[in-house]
Structures are given as structure tokens and as C-alpha cells.
Chain A
Amino acid sequence: MIAMPKPDPQILARRQAIAAQLRTLLPASSVIAETERMRAYESDGLTAYRQVPLVVALPETTQQVADVLRWARREGIKIVPRGAGTSLSGGALPVADAIVLGLGKFKAVLDIDYANRTVTVQPGVTNLAISNAVDAAGFYYAPDPSSQIACTIGGNVAENSGGVHCLKYGLTTNNVLGLEFVTPEGEIVRIGGKHLDSPGYDLLGLLTGSEGLLGIVTEVTVRILQKPETARALLLGFASAEQGGDCVAAIIAAGIIPGGMEMMDRPAIHAAEAFVQAGYPLDVEALLIVELDGCAAEVDHLIGRVEAIAALHGVVVSRVSTTEAERLRFWAGRKAAFPAVGRISPDYYCMDGTIPRAALPRVLAAMRDMSAKYGLGVANVFHAGDGNLHPLILYDANVPGELDRAEAFGADILKLCVDVGGVLTGEHGVGVEKRDLMEYQFDAVDLEQQHRLKCAFDVDLRFNPGKVFPTLHRCAEEGRVHVHRGETRFPDLPRF
């Protein structure tokens, strides 16, 4: 288990007083301090980690957020921002001496502007609700995390979330145009809007993906797109992951960027088929779903080209959807892959590294060796187009030692991703989960520079403590002492 920073006993002792003070700043229904009611907030999508928060605050307006943050700054109280709590990296995990600041009451769609193709919403609006709000006019919001019915746009901005369509349509960061946010000092700041680019530094780009470490997002403007006229999918089975990977590379080399391109390995195919009977072939090592969207003329043309490419790469099963129902059936197994794996194993742990695709055969082979070494199964689903892997490690939390082994297995996979030229996380964020691996991808100077950016926003390090960065020395002591869980880190580094 990854250790969280030690709570400040003085803050813990003041819990009741802190709740009372919050009630002077917020409506009574916006402050939750009873332990039983706070349990709903004790965890996020990384369910192995739990912590009841100090107090939960659910403000209703930007001004209330600013009031709370100004007060919290004066009192030296830490803040954990929270959307829907679906983070898979522990980004929204409470810490014992921090207020959970939930944006659940920020539910309004503020503006829909079809002429300029933008929607402005409050951060607690779910990802899917944005698309639903513009559906009647044929528009949608492109980034589509599988959690889209639940996760909020504020959480998406904080995590820079992706989805199966982001190869063609971009991640959150490529689709957000403007933000209002409140700094840790309680200042309300607006960046961007319905126009493009900024006259100064791209703080919009910096805030997106900053995992709740730099401020509270209180309003988001996104761009919307007209839905493609049609979409069709191919289901392609291969006798080896290598052939599947080569086929993906060949599709891209042919100048085709599919709307979605997903791969599953044998264990994932079997789990999914057993769960939803999507009609997947069970005797292949790799299954590829390639979705092409656009006008019918384009989709028909590209379906033919992708079929031909697959044939050249030894495809053994090749099916093309001819109806919408069939397309959805192709997807059904992939979309249900997580719960499907949940049926064959009491617990699973979802990883999220990205690799250069060419390294796929090597990484999959190494994963099989690790699976034997740790004595734990692994099923792989991944966003094949951009090399973003989601290995699902199977374990049983009730068996002593299995969670630790699953975590060690996961860490080995992520280190391998870095070793082959990739990164620790493609869309789920660092959070708590990958915090202590940051030093594997970045060296001390890289991390120091990122830490200085943190200090530019949050000088007393009160926002989302214990997340993303392994060592957080105080801003004023920058470059001098690195204290982490009581030990000095980087002992060989010259100090100046």
C-alpha cells in the first residue's frame, strides 16, 4: 500500500470547529461532518484505498468556493477537490486532515451556442449530459471516457480524460476552450472562452490534467461537433498479438485514423464473450475492433481498405458490421470488458501505461512472464491506435498478500512502459497510485521544475496533498531539503 502523508493532529482535533466555521460560509445542507454520511466520500475508483475525510463541503456557487478557499488558506486547511469520484488513480481519495470539496451541486448547463459550436457548463455536469444537451441538434461532445454516464466534466478536465474516440477527436485538453477556476488563494480567474488560444502562457493547457493540484475548476467551456453521418466497425481476429499490432501500424501508415481502434487479448476476449455473448471468436490471440465514422462514402471506402490491409496481415476472422445493431454488438464485449473481468476474479486492478506501439509484442511477452512470477492473471484491453494499454490484473483482496502482489505487478508493468520509451499513464492520471513511480519516468530536475509550477499556484501545498508527486518539500525551501516520509530523498544531489 502507498503511504499517505501523516495528518496534522491539531487539525484533526479541530474537526468540529472547522465544520461549524464552514456552516457560517455555506448553507447547512452543504456541510457534511457525520462520519456515517461521509463514508460515501471515503474512496474513488481506486477502491483499495479508503479514508474518511475531515469534513465534506458541497458549495453551490463560485463565490462560495472562493469564500471557503480564502478561509481555508487563513486556517491552513488542506483541500481535496472531488467530482463524481470515479478516478482510477486515487486522485479524489480523501486525506484525514483535509476538507473534501465536492462540486456535485454545480449541475447547470449555462450556455449552448450552436453558431460558435460551444457549450458552457458547471463542473459537476456529467460528460454524457453535455452530449445529451445538444443531441437534438445533432451535436455531441467528443471525448468519451467509458465512465461518461457518471464522471463530471470538472473531473475530466482535472484528469485530461480520454476515451475510445480520442485517437481521432482528441483528449479533453484538445476540446476545452475556456475555464473559470478559483486559486488556492481564493481568487476567481477566467482563462480562454469561446475564442481560440491565449495571449499569454497557456494556463488552460496547464490546468487541464493538473489533477486537482492547482485550483478548483468552477466553469468549463467546451467545443462541440456535429455527429458523423454514420459509423461502421470491423471485427478482426489474429493468431498473434504481433500480427494484430502490425495491422494497426499498417492502417495508420495507410493514412487512416479510425474513429476508434481497440484491441483485446485472449483472456479479455474470453471474459467478455462469457459475459455478454458478443459473438467474439475464441480461438484467436488478439481481437481488433476498428470503427470508421464519417459520411457513408468515406466509411464504405475505408472499410474496404482496412479489410484489405487486415488480409495482408494474416487476419483469421474478419467481419464487417452491416447494421447499427451489429456494430453495437461488436462493441458490447469491449465496453463490458471491465465488469466481465470482474466476474472471473474477485478483484481486478486496472493499469494505464502508454507505449510506442512497435513495442507491443515485447511488452505483452514480458507481462506473461510477470504474470507467472507473481502468480496472478492478467487480461489486456487497450486503445491500440495510440498505444494506451489497460492491463487488468486479477487478484483477491481477501487473500493475504495478493493486493501487495497486484500492486508490485502493476508497478513492474508501468516501469516496463517507461523502459520501452512510453509513459506511466495515458489517461487515468498519476494520483496516489503512480505517485512513487514518478521518479522512474522523470529525474530530480524534471520533478523539481514541476514542483516549482505547483508552488506558483499553491504556495503552501494544501491542494490534493499526497497526490502525483513523491516528494513535496516546502516551497520556500525549494532546492534545499527534500523530505519524504521523514527520510531525505536524493541524498546524492548537490544542494545550493
Chain B
Amino acid sequence: MTEFSNRLRPRDEADLAELVRTATGPLEPIGGGTKRMMGAPVEATPLDLAAFNGIIAYEPAELTMSVGAATPLGVVERELEARQQMFAFEPMDPRVLLGSPGEPTVGGTVAAALAGPRRVKAGGARDHLLGLKAVNGRGEAFKAGGRVVKNVTGYDVPKLFAGSWGTLGVMSELTLKVLPAPETERTLILDADDASGAISLLARALGSSHEVTGAAVVDGRAAIRLEGFGPSVAWRVGALLRELGSPDAATLEPAASRSFWRDVRDVRSLAEAPIVWRVSTVPSLAAAFVARVALSAQLRVLYDWGGGLVWLGLDAAYEDLVRGALAEGHAMLFKAPAEIRARVPVFQPAPSGLADLERRVKASFDPDNRLNPGRMGR
């Protein structure tokens, strides 16, 4: 992680609570620092969580993993791989797009909720966060959720923390659901006339019973991932190709398929773009949305989630154009220089009734707005 002269480094949970409680100004919780270039810029004292590092309990047969918030994602993923398991939401590595230093951590990954291609089938970070320990903006340590995979006791507070960007509380410990990693995978690459045609193919694949776990449009062609046990994948590849009427499409073998989806996950094709938007929309509306933006701006595009996730690479922010073209969903300014992120709302602004509720939710955790103030524009 980058060096900061003025950073605070709590030693343990009690120390963390004390630091937050006695803080005289705003604080910026930091895990590995890979996503500091995201969200609205924050003027705050860095709160370095490096002390909360390590696997606390890994129970493969219970499908649960408890870790300190600043445990590097790579460390946990290696541990999971050794038992043929995974975080099924396939978190992206933001460094590819942002060029940022440091190591992504589990806490930061969940706080940013940046799920990858398997989101369409397996859900996002929200769907895999089972429980947590955190310190709220009042400096009180509390726990929420649990350490078992099925739990409806009390409000589902962990859901709020997935995607809260460090604005509700400082997580010190997280329990996540883990799942078996697929035995093998194949990817089908199909030609299409245009993006809209490719998205229709993806819709048919996702609407089939073949349990598609990746559905992207890359370079104008539809890419479909099938994962699972060997005999099952082999059969589904054939069946899906027959159903889609393209028996001679190209297939990627496991190694090629893995690296293909790693690049989709990390949006490598847009790495050079100075401005990147991440747009969540209704799949069947995606191509028309992109066409409207393309009328007035040069762009590069990657569609994931069957068209439901649109990555746009641009050379300027074009915020009115992008948000104006979007009929349903929300657009996040994923990558942009700080001066643009200070001016343009990074996260899609909410309508007033909803915005009001969100403000009250924030205040219920952090009444003095101590934690990452303004980072989400909320």
C-alpha cells in the first residue's frame, strides 16, 4: 500500500473503535488502496486496516470463510483453490483498468461490490456476504449477520455493507459464502450481425436450461461460458450449439476460456481509455443505449451479464450524454481523473424519496458523516 505520513493504524478492533470515536475529522478506511481512485475524491485521514489481515476460519464443508477485512484477495483465493472452491461472484481486479498500485483486499472488494461475469448466475458480492464485524461512525463495534449460509435473524445488515464504499462502517472481519469451483469450463464464440443480435443470442442461452455462467459480447461476437462437471459441460456445449443453430461455432478449451473471462472480468479491452463508465441496465435495452451514446461520442464497448452490464470507454466524461441515453438502470463513472470525479456524480443520483431514505440509513450508522464523507455522493 502507498505510504501516508498522517495515516492511522489501529492495532485491533478496540483500538479501531477508539480511533473512530475520538476522531476529530473525517476518515478514509483503506484496505489495499487499489480503489482509492474510485468514487468522489475524499479529503480525509487514511485509516489503514493492515492489522486486520488473515484467515480466521475456513470451513470448506460448511461453505464459509471468515477473514480479517484487509486480507489480500489473492491470498484467500489461493487458499480456496487448494480446496477446489471459490468466491462465486468472481470479483474483478480493478488494477487492470485503473493502473492502481497495491493488493485488493477482501474488505475492499466487498465494499465496492464489483462482481464479475458469473454475477448473472451466482449473484454479486451482496449474495455471498454472510456476516461481518464493523465499527460504525460513532465508534461502536458491532456484528451483523452470522457465520452460517442460511440466516434471516434480524435485518440483513450485511447486504447494506456490500457496495457501501466504506461510508457506513469500518469492517474489521467478514464471513463469506464459498462454493465449489467448477471442474471444467468451455466457452462458445458465436458470430452475430451486430451487438443487438449478439445480445439476443445471449438471451436465448441464458434463457435455456444450460446454466450459462458467462455471457458477454466481445468484438461484436457473443461469448457464452459453460462450467461444471466434465460430462455435463461436454453435453451442454453440443446441446446449446444445436439450440442456437450454430453447430460450427468456435469453442475455447479450459485454459483459453479461463483467460478469456479473466480479461472480460477485468475489462482489459478498455484499459487504455481515459474515461470508463460501468452501466447496469436491462439487457434488451443495452444495444440501443450504446447506439444513442455512439451518435455523439467515439467509444469502445464491452457487454457482460448478457448485455446487462455495459462498459463504455470514452475520451471525455460525457455525463449528460451517457445518463441521458440510459432509459433504465444506473451509470457509474468508474474511471476518471479526480477533478472530473469531484464535479460529476460518480454514482447515479437517486430520485428524491429514495435519496432521502439513503441519507437516513447513512445517518443511522454514521450521524456525523465521519466515514468517507461524500465518496458515494450520499
Contacts and interface: CB of A to CB of B under 8 A. Distances in A.
A249 B61 contact: yes
B229 to A, nearest CB: 6
Chain B CB count within 10 A is highest, among A115, A226, A442, for A115
A145 to B, nearest CB: 12
Contacts of A199: 330, 332, 347-350
Interface in B151-176: 151-157, 159-160, 162-164, 168
B180 A257 contact: yes
A295 B141 contact: no
Q: How big is chain A's contact interface, by range?
A: 35 or more
A358 B61 contact: yes
Nearest to B183: A255
B152 A449 contact: no
B353 A116 contact: no
A99 B200 CA distance: 48
Given A425-B151, A468-B154, A115 B363 contact: no
Most buried by A among B63, B208, B239: B63
Given A173-B159, A197-B124, A387 B149 contact: yes
Interface in A181-201: 183, 187-191, 193-201
B298 interface: no
Given A187-B353, A421-B147, A116 B282 contact: yes
Contacts of A255: 84, 180-181, 183
B208 A295 contact: no
Given A194-B282, A295-B232, A446-B142, A200 B378 contact: yes
B236 interface: yes
A198 B148 CA distance: 25
Interface in A297-313: 297-298, 300-302
A157 to B, nearest CB: 12
Contacts of B206: 117
Interface string A190-222: 110111111111111110111000000000000
30 contacts: A114-B207, A116-B282, A160-B156, A166-B150, A173-B156, A193-B328, A195-B282, A195-B308, A196-B280, A196-B308, A197-B124, A199-B349, A200-B376, A252-B63, A294-B232, A297-B232, A298-B235, A302-B229, A356-B59, A356-B148, A357-B61, A358-B59, A358-B61, A387-B150, A423-B148, A438-B153, A441-B146, A450-B154, A453-B361, A456-B357
Interface of A: 113-117, 138-139, 159-160, 162, 166-167, 170-171, 173-174, 183, 187-191, 193-206, 208-210, 226-229, 249-250, 252-253, 255-257, 294-298, 300-302, 354-358, 383, 386-388, 421-430, 434, 438, 441-443, 445-450, 452-457, 468
For the complex of A and B, 4 pairs with smallest distance between CB atoms: A205-B159, A298-B232, A255-B180, A297-B235
